[in-house]
């Protein structure tokens, strides 16, 4: 079957059409661990929820751990925006991908990917304001501006339906501005370009490290966490080995130390049906 005939292919194409059209810059982890006896290099693609260099630096301990246990070199790649990341994923440039649940659902529907594991901790959207803001509740955002991650991403699709659930006065819906990344949306809040920002829940700890005083005024419902899917180029043995490493990473001291360094939870096996909860927030369902 040709790629264009696969049921999920059109979803990926739609993501590319809706995504930002600025010239992307692909970031690659140039640190190649030469693991004894390695047969070939595995590429881990990570969705660009942080700036490329910061993301690669943060996830390096996981890269090193996987390289050591799998007995072959693992390299990290990401991109500066969702458009390039989506394109490279669709092209099969990554052996396995760490991404948000909507992207994982789209990937699985192309039939080129298999579900490896998902993080044990569910994710949600955290609506934040600066600590000294006069805004205390969501209703006080009427007519205000809200920053959000890229429109093609999970929260970028979630933010508008989420806000519509609140009883804002007529013609006083908050104005939503989608930025190229979580970091850009956070910077807009820091600089006063937005009154509030919707970020993924696990980025709150990142804000603490950035010394940005903030308050969470509301959270969305919870959804499956960051998910890892494997491309068809990943052999059955590699798939099984990767899954076993991930779901047991929090059972030994070395693995727990890795999770602490990257500031992420452990993993569990998940049924694909759990991802149906995010289907309403796929780009195909939110074209406007």
Q: Where are the domains of the chain?
A: 3-122+224-285, 125-219
For residue range 116-158, what is the model confidence (pLDDT) as tens digits? Answer: 999 999 999 999 999 999 999 999 999 999 999 988 889 999 9
pLDDT of residue 91 exceeding 70, the answer is yes
> Cα dist. 210→45, 79, 205, 218 in Å?
25, 22, 9, 21
What is the rounded distance in angstroms from the CA atom of residue 173 to the CA atom of residue 11?
Answer: 29
For residue range 183-235, what is the model confidence (pLDDT) as tens digits? Answer: 889 999 999 999 999 999 988 877 877 778 999 999 999 999 999 999 999 99
Radius of gyration (Cα) for the chain, nearest Å?
Answer: 19
φ/ψ of 69, rounded to 5, equals: -75, -40
Percent of the chain at pLDDT exceeding 70: 85
Common-topology check for domains 3-122+224-285 and 125-219:
yes
pLDDT of residue 40 exceeding 70, the answer is yes
Percent of the chain at pLDDT exceeding 90: 68
Three-class secondary structure assignment of 124-168: CEEEEEECCCCCCCHHHHCCCEEEECCCCCHHHHHHHHHHHCCCC
Topology, domain 125-219: D-Maltodextrin-Binding Protein; domain 2 (3.40.190)
Superfamily of domain 3-122+224-285: Periplasmic binding protein-like II (3.40.190.10)
Q: Could you tell me the pLDDT band of residue 70, with boundaries at 50, 70 and 90?
A: very high
């Amino acid at each position: 079957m040709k790629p264009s005939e696969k049921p999920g292919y059109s979803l990926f194409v739609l993501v590319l059409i809706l995504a930002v059209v600025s010239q992307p810059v692909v970031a690659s982890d140039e640190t190649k661990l030469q693991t004894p006896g390695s047969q070939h290099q595995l590429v881990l693609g990570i969705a660009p929820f942080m700036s490329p260099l910061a993301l690669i630096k943060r996830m390096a301990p996981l890269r090193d751990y996987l390289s050591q246990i799998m007995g072959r070199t693992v390299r990290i790649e990401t991109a500066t925006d969702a458009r390039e990341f989506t394109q490279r994923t669709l092209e099969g440039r990554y052996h396995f991908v760490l991404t948000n649940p909507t992207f994982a659902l789209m990937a699985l529907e192309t039939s080129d990917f298999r579900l490896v594991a998902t993080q044990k901790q569910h994710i949600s959207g955290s609506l934040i304001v600066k600590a000294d803001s006069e805004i205390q509740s969501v209703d006080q955002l009427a007519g205000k501006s809200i920053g959000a991650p890229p429109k093609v991403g999970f929260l970028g699709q979630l933010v508008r339906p989420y806000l519509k659930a609140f009883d804002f006065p007529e013609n006083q819906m908050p104005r939503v501005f989608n930025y190229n990344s979580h970091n850009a949306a956070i910077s807009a809040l820091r600089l006063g370009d937005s009154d509030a920002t919707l970020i993924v829940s696990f980025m709150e700890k990142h804000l603490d490290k950035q010394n940005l005083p903030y308050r969470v005024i509301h959270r969305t419902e919870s959804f499956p966490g960051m998910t890892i899917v494997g491309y068809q180029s990943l052999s059955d043995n590699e798939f099984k080995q990767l899954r076993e490493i991930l779901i047991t990473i929090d059972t030994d001291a070395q693995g727990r130390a890795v999770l602490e360094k990257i500031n992420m939870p452990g993993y569990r096996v998940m049924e694909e049906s759990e991802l149906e909860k995010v289907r309403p927030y796929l780009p195909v369902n939110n074209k406007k």
